Amino acid sequence: MQVKKGSQVTVCQECGQVFRLEVGSIQSQPLAEGIDDYGIVCPKCRHFAHSFYINNRLKALQKQDATRQERRQYKHEFVKFQHQMEKRLHRYANPG
């Protein structure tokens, strides 16, 4: 995720702290094998607000020298992967 310095302000849903989004605000934590959960971390209470998921396939497409086609492919697969993960996690949260 690209964040322009000082361009965006967000509110922590946990403690209500208002803070500016910076490159360091976005952190990742491993979710499952080959899958990282990216989110915004509150500088006050360290609450992690989920933003998006990235897998190894997306990481590979994200390389610096990606072609235009790879970039387009990335966007396409990124969206698809978010839906996949939401479905998967929803199933875990609501068995049956």
Answer for the pair 62, 37: CB distance below 8 angstroms, yes or no: no
* Residue choice 1, 8, 34, 44 for contact with Zn ion (CB under 5 A): 44
Amino acid at site 62: Q
Instruction: Select from 20, 17, 18, 19 the least CA-distant residue to 4.
Output: 20
Q: Which of residues 50-69 bind Zn ion (CB under 5 A)?
A: none
Asked if 12 is part of the footprint of Zn ion (rule: CB under 5 A), the reply reads yes
* Residue choice 40, 42, 58, 61 for contact with Zn ion (CB under 5 A): 42
Please say which residue, 13 or 62, places its beta carbon nearer to Zn ion: 13
Min dist CB 10 to Zn ion, Å, is 10
> DSSP character for 75?
H
